[in-house]
Structure 1
Amino acid sequence: MVLTFGYKRSIKYQMGIVTGFFLVMMASGFVASTITTRLPSLIPVMTVAGALYILYLAYLILRSSITMKEDIVRPLGFFQGMFLQLLNAKTLIVGLTAYSTFLVNPPKTLLWRTASASFFTALAITALALYSLFGFFLFRILQSPRVGKMINTLFAAALVYTALALLWPMVAQFA
């Protein structure tokens, strides 16, 4: 979007993404809290499912190619960005994984859930802004298939590390 329409014309879409992300994080906090309180035996299952999904994303990134498509006629708006996140399975998996593995025993208050969702959203805003700005500057570099493959490999390796970090406590119990 930023590459095609510029940063200013993409702000509404980005704000929609941020709003949708916050709503998904709030819902994930409630769902994960309910599951971990009422069905704690599901925590390992959710951890493994989240790690497997992260590994799947790493696989997709590793196999993807860097191609720029510019077939969007006008910038997408706020609601398109928000609904993209509300319907995005990756966002839900990230939220459920974060709340059910890294934040297993937090206070169960609305204030804490709002604060944690706000923190995750602040991280998402930072990542989105950096992604947009760096994407603008790296556009020429990413045209090289070799450089694109190296960047995809780096991102995939980071995801594999994240998945292994999720699984390591479970594996260490059996060692």
Structure 2
Amino acid sequence: MNLTSFLIYCMIVTFTPGPTNIVILSTVHNFGTKKAMEYTYGATVAFGLLLVISAILNSMLMTIIPKILMVMQIIGSIYMFYLAYQTYKMDTSNPTVIQSATFMSGFLMQFLNPKVVLFTMTVIPSFIIPNYTAVPAVTISVLAITFIGFLAFLTWVLFGTLFKKFLQNHSKIVNVMMALFLAYSALMIWM
């Protein structure tokens, strides 16, 4: 396996803006680091679980990918538009803790996030299975990819924490931008 290509692929997909990363940044901005970390833990567990599912069911999934992708695109897009709307209408003048930034919402978001689903369905068959089929090797690979994803989420939490004051001073603009990024992500699924 070309380790450099594998790591570049993992870093680009996990660290670039996507629905989960944008929600993490928005959560830090509006509700703080602690809430964002709760969401991040849920997202990380689901990310790892998706990798496990991909590793176990890889051959079966490959035969039914078009059906899975269509359903995930529809559900994922609708959910991302909903998140965009919630982010847009968020009233930061009355900071109350909402239930959307929970472990469970972070967990569920990963199963509806087409970027994550596509990544987990492609990284295992593209880089791992052709080179390593033994259970310990596949397990170590899944753990390593999950750790890379967790580091990406932490980067977004850190970014939000470092720039929180700036983001709070420009909260309406930030919420509109986050909503637009989420809506753009939802639209890109269809293009």
TM-score range, shorter chain: 0.5 to 0.7
Q: Secondary structure at the match of 2:90?
A: coil
Q: Which residue of 2 aligns with 1:52?
A: 74
Aligned equivalent of 2:6: none
Q: In the alignment, what sits opposite 2:8?
A: none
Q: Secondary structure at the residue paired with 1:164?
A: coil
Alignment pair present for 1:146 and 2:165: no
Identity, in percent, stands at: 11
For the pair 1:99 / 2:126, whether they are aligned, the reply is no
Shift of residue 157, structure 1, vs aligned partner: 0.8
Counterpart of 1:119 in 2: which secondary structure?
Answer: helix
Distance in 2 of aligned mates of 1:14 and 1:55? 20
Q: Which runs of 5+ in 2 are unaligned?
A: 1-26
Q: CA deviation at 1:118?
A: 2.6
Which TM-score applies when normalising by structure 2?
Answer: 0.55
In the TM superposition, what are the counterparts of 1:63-78 in structure 2 within 5 Å? 63-64=85-86, 65-68=89-92, 69-71=95-97
Q: 2:190 is paired with a residue of what secondary structure?
A: helix
Cα distance, 1:101 vs. partner? 5.5
The answer (yes or no) to whether the contact 1:59–1:156 under 8 Å persists in 2 is yes
Query: In 1, Cα distance between the equivalents of 2:30 and 2:84?
Result: 25
Amino acid at match of 1:91: Q
Alignment of 1:62 with 2:84, yes or no, is yes
Size of the alignment, in residue pairs? 149
Aligned twin of 1:36: 61
Query: Does the 8 A contact of 2:77 with 2:186 survive in 1?
Result: yes
Larger radius of gyration: 1
Q: Give distance in 1, aligned partners of 2:85 and 2:32.
A: 28
Supply the RMSD in Å over aligned alpha carbons.
3.9
Q: Does 1:90 align with 2:109?
A: yes
TM-score by length of 1: 0.58
**Cα deviation 1:106-159 (Å, max 9, x = unaligned):** 6155323541453244133222x2332232223553453233112210232134
Residue number among 129, 132, 144 corresponding to 2:157 in the alignment? 132
Determine if contact 1:29/1:96 at 8 Å carries over to the other structure: no
Q: Unpaired runs of 5+ in structure 1?
A: 73-79, 166-175
- Corresponding position of 2:52: 27
Partner AA of 2:76 in structure 1: I
Contact 2:55 2:138 in 1 (8 A): no
After superposition, give the CA deviation of every residue in 1:11-47 in whole Å (9 maximum; x if it has no partner). 985784476245413432245415326xx1x210111
User: Residues 29 and 160 of structure 2 are in contact (CA less than 8 Å); yes or no, is this contact kept in structure 1?
Assistant: yes
User: C-alpha displacement at 1:10, in angstroms?
Assistant: 7.5
